[in-house]
Amino acid sequence: MADYTAYSHKMDKTLEVLAADFGAVRAGRANAQVLDRISVEYYGVDTPVGQVASISSPDARTLVIQPWDGTLLKPIEKAILTSDLGINPQNDGRIIRLVFPQLNEDRRKELTKQVKKYGEDAKVAIRNVRRDAMDAFKKQQKKGEITEDDQKKCEKDLQDMTDKYIKKIDDMCAVKEKELMEL
């Protein structure tokens, strides 16, 4: 009978990517995940900020970045300024402070659209995994490795699994949208 673990693993990876994308969407709260995609050059290698500094959140709207090597203050500040984060870093010579402003209504709606787009992209990825699996089952049936009834059962089970993952994506989107719309 069919082995769904490879397809389930691919669908789980899609959910992980979606969660990472959602983490990078700043919701007006300080969240260290927004820095995950920001890198600085450290000894000739692009290195994520989280690997060259400690990142803490003293309150709900502030992140403090304290590099382990003081020479990285300026490069980290520059990397944040050139990123799409939209926050001006405050450098006091020892640490960099990021103060997250309260989101206005237009920005909330814009971020909600972005969340919906990430959700749709994830659903497309899930459906692509389903399509690849369906093609594999059809090939197995043509080769005589499985019967037509087994193929139909596999396709039904796969559709059920796909529906389950699509529901998870919808739930994740709803939670993130709710978080964005909170004042």
Go through the domains of the chain in sequence order and give each one's CATH number.
5-23+104-181 (1.10.132.20), 29-99 (3.30.1360.40)
Inform me whether the pLDDT recorded for 111 exceeds 90. Answer: no
pLDDT tier for residue 183 given thresholds of 50, 70 and 90 = low
Residue 5 pLDDT grade (very low, low, confident, very high; cuts 50, 70, 90): confident
How far from chain centre, in Å, is Cα 85? 15
What burial letters (b/e) apply to 14-24, b meaning 16+ CB within 10 Å?
bbeebeebbbb
Mean pLDDT, range 148-170, rounded to an integer: 92
Instruction: Read off the pLDDT band of 83 (50, 70, 90).
Output: confident
> Across residues 151-177, what is the average pLDDT?
92
In this prediction, residue 121 carries a pLDDT of 94
Res. 49 pLDDT band, cuts 50 70 90? confident
What 3 state SS string does 45-65 have? EEEEHHHCEEEEEEECCEEEE
Percent of the chain with pLDDT over 70: 95
CA atoms within 13 A on the CB side of 78: 7
The one-character DSSP state at 147 is: -
Q: Which two tokens stand for residue 111?
A: 């971020």
| More confident site: 65 or 33 | 65
pLDDT value for 125: 95
Look at residues 150, 164, 155 and name the one whose alpha carbon lies nearest to residue 133.
155
Structure confidence at residue 144 (pLDDT): 87
pTM check: above 0.85 = no
Strands 90-91 and 53-59: unpaired
Task: Work out the mean pLDDT of the chain and round it to a whole number.
Answer: 86
